[in-house]
Amino acid sequence: MFGYVIANSESLSEEDKVRYKAVYCGLCRALKTRHGNFGRLALNYDMTFLILVLNSLYEPEMSKGEERCAAHPCSMHCYVASEIADYAADMNVALAYLNQLDNWHDDRNLLSLIYARILRKKYSAVKAKYPRQCDAMERCIKRLSELEKSGVQNPDAASHCFGELMGEVFVLREDRWAAPLRAMASSLGEFIYISDAVVDLPRDIKKHRYNPLTDLKNAGRSELYFKDILTMLIGNCTMDFEKLPLVEDVSIMRNILYSGVWTKYELAQAKKAKLKGDKR
């Protein structure tokens, strides 16, 4: 369920594109510094949004620089480093470890087991530092796995579970911002889970794989019905987001929440429309 919390680059200003990339590169750099090259393999844009939110909220001391890396050896690129980037890198690795472990338990994917074993010591260190977040991740991923194995068609329970996971990840510390951050991130997590289920629904039905929306689809629920649910969920998220006193990089974050998070859904809808057109 990674890859949903991204910016719509076509709608970003040139200045925001540079800033967004610098924050992303800062996350990549933090992963390499704290968890090595194998940790860097877990890199994704989703945690960049986490950095943007917490940087803007807590205003930590930040450093900027330029460097070359293995991914871009021929040119210098900018990065932004902060304690928030370090936190996001730790959460990134924790999620990657637990996701790979879950893949091994569910599908007996050998590559997932190998990667999980590589990250195991790193995860233990992260859990020792952030037990609340990691306990929540373990609890929620286990509950999601149980729901999937049971075959129970309960999209509310599953999405709430993933929302709970996201809520704990976004709460860096228990302070006055914990409640609004949990509310915003929980709704975002629910949106991500249902979006992923909607995007995967045709393929899951065809391959007889678990999807919490299968019964609703078989009962005749339309694409508009699912889009209305997604609109409600991201609406809840944006309402809580707008209550936070965020100033720096707020244009990038609004781009992500109001446009970018729909990217995968819109691509899937366009693909469906094309397939229908080709069959005519």
Q: pLDDT tens, position by position, for the chain (280 residues)?
A: 678 999 999 999 999 999 999 999 999 999 999 999 898 888 989 999 999 999 999 999 999 998 887 777 777 889 999 999 999 999 999 999 999 998 888 778 889 899 999 999 999 999 999 999 999 999 999 999 999 888 888 899 999 999 999 999 999 999 999 999 999 999 999 999 999 999 999 999 999 989 999 999 999 999 999 999 999 999 999 999 999 999 999 999 999 999 999 999 999 999 888 777 655 5
Beta bridge partners of 80: 64
DSSP helix/strand/coil, 209? coil
Read off the tokens for 230.
Answer: 């997604």
Sign of the dihedral defined by the CA atoms of residues 136, 139, 145, 148, in that order = negative
Sign of CA dihedral 20, 26, 32, 35: negative
Q: One-letter amino acid identity for 83?
A: E
Task: Give the pLDDT of residue 279.
Answer: 59
| pLDDT confidence of residue 80 | 94
pLDDT value for 272: 81
The predicted pLDDT at position 184 comes to 97
How far is residue 174's CA from residue 184's CA, in Å, rounded to a whole number? 15
Q: What is the pLDDT of residue 75?
A: 79
Residue type, position 188, single letter: L
Q: What is the pLDDT of residue 278?
A: 59
First-to-last C-alpha distance (Å) of the chain = 33
9-279 has which CATH code?
1.10.600.10
Total number of residues shown for the chain: 280
